[in-house]
Amino acid sequence: MSVGNSQSLDHQPVNDDCQGSWHQHNPRKGQFTMRILKTITTIGVAGAMALTLAACGGNAGNAGNAGSDGASSGGSIENLKIGISLPQKTSENWVEADGFFNDTCTEQKLDCTLQFANGGVAEQQNQIDAMITSGVKVLIIGAIDGTSLGTQVEKAKDAGISVIAYDRLLLDTEAIDNYVAYDNFQVGVKQGEALLEGLAKIKGDGPYKIELVAGSNDDSNSSRFFNGAMSILQPKIDDGTLVVGSGQTQQSQAATQGWDPKNAQSRMDAILAQNYPGSEVPDGILSPNDTLARAVLTSVEQAGKEQPVVTGQDSEVESLKWIMQGKQYSTISKPTLPLVQNSIALAVKLASGEKDIKELNGIQVDEEQYNNNKKNVPSFLLEPIVATKDNAKDVYKDEPKKLEAVNSVG
């Protein structure tokens, strides 16, 4: 497997230490590997039948091409060429994805090219163009900006390349086959519920003053997270249970460009200075991920104020420690491994010629929820889980690295 431009940004909150062995990453290796092998075995049998039929029909030349092209023509999936284009490494889940994709492609003997676009949108466009030229059969794309890759995915479609949107939906194009992600609207719903739960548990009776933090506007997931959370919080704002002290209730006002924690912290510094004099402090802060949660908590701490109830997402190791210390209230568990494994399994199915796929490793297709402004994109959605101090040991019992972080705090 070739890996390109995998360096981290200067503000990356974690080290790229997830390149260890499969066993280090995956305590449930058997469960997911068995599913993948079942898919691959089925494809291999079908491929062998297709090759036999082609040869019996006297078209030996085409049969030979099918074998060299791999699964895209019905043959073996070994050395199937897959292009994996991911955004900047701005959070721990993307670092984990690097290691998991590497391990999975190596184990399945797939010819994968993985690149991170740490230089921005133009770099990601160029990287995908190069993958298309190199002859990949499937593209797995985690976009920096879901609206910026229309030209590239149209080129892929014209070349007969299948396109999977990974974690972030590709917008404004019909040239996308499937979307694989956690149910991001439900992530927001669970964050909103966790914020209300934490406020009642820690701050007592309301009303409560809160602040809202959103992700980057160029990430198509940001609106899903925010809208999911606001489906829970807006009724409480309307009835006076919640008051947004700064008055910044729109996603555009709460957005954090580039998911950069520096931007989140400086915005919170300004909000505190302008709206919370003396010892006043928000009772709670809605944060869409762990990196930004730690940034706003740092802002509050540096202002010398009492810590608020703060949500998060991604189960980053440092935030798990903060949760067990009582500094951060919650996170969302979205294990990267099953997301990677299901994306590769889907790539193999598409490369084998399967169409209108209805089920993937027990996940039923959702054909209604995700419209990218051009079509309803058939989606395979994994279930997110809220983690707090009360249930963290159970949530992460099958993830040794994260369980170690949970248990490291007495």
Distance CA 24, CA 385 (A): 22
Residue pair 118/9 in contact (Cβ under 8 Å)? The answer is: yes
Structure tokens at 163: 């396109």
Instruction: Provide the pLDDT for residue 3.
Output: 46
- For residue 7, pLDDT over 60 is answered with no
Instruction: Provide the pLDDT for residue 275.
Output: 98
Residue pair 312/285 in contact (Cβ under 8 Å)? The answer is: no
- For residue 36, pLDDT over 60 is answered with no
- For residue 155, pLDDT over 70 is answered with yes
Burial 327-338 (b: 16+ CB within 10 A, else e): bbbbbbbbbbbb
Lowest-confidence segment of 90-94, 97-101, 258-262, 284-288 by average pLDDT: 90-94
Structure tokens at 386: 């809220």
- For residue 176, pLDDT over 90 is answered with yes
Main-chain dihedrals φ then ψ at residue 59, nearest 5 degrees: -100, 60
Cα distances from 83 to residues 1, 2, 78, 261, in angstroms, run 10, 10, 15, 29
Q: List 164's β-bridge partners, or say none.
A: 140, 178
Main-chain dihedrals φ then ψ at residue 372, nearest 5 degrees: -100, 25
- Band of residue 1 on the pLDDT scale cut at 50, 70, 90: low
Domains of the chain are 2-176+335-383 (3.40.50.2300), 184-334 (3.40.50.2300)
- Band of residue 34 on the pLDDT scale cut at 50, 70, 90: very low
Closest CA relative to residue 399, chosen from 343, 346, 320: 320
Closest CA relative to residue 106, chosen from 195, 226, 217, 25: 25
Q: Which amino acid belongs to residue 299?
A: S
Give the strands of the sheet with 242-244, arranged side by side: 242-244, 208-212, 284-286, 309-310
Instruction: Provide the pLDDT for residue 51.
Output: 32
- For residue 41, pLDDT over 50 is answered with no
pLDDT in tens, 177-209: 999 999 999 999 999 999 999 999 999 999 999
The secondary structure of the chain in percent helix, strand, coil, rounded to multiples of 5, reads: 50, 15, 35
Instruction: Provide the pLDDT for residue 361.
Output: 95
Q: Once rounded to an integer, what is the mean pLDDT over residues 311-331? A: 97
Instruction: Provide the pLDDT for residue 277.
Output: 97
Q: Which amino acid belongs to residue 141?
A: I
User: What rounded mean pLDDT belongs to the chain?
Assistant: 85
Q: Once rounded to an integer, what is the mean pLDDT over residues 318-338? A: 97
Q: Which amino acid belongs to residue 387?
A: A
Cα distances from 100 to residues 204, 337, 384, 409, in angstroms, run 42, 6, 19, 27
Which has the higher per-residue pLDDT, 342 or 36?
A: 342
- Band of residue 78 on the pLDDT scale cut at 50, 70, 90: confident
Task: Note the Cα 254 to chain centre separation in Å.
Answer: 21
Cα distances from 324 to residues 35, 193, 402, 403, 404, in angstroms, run 34, 19, 12, 11, 12
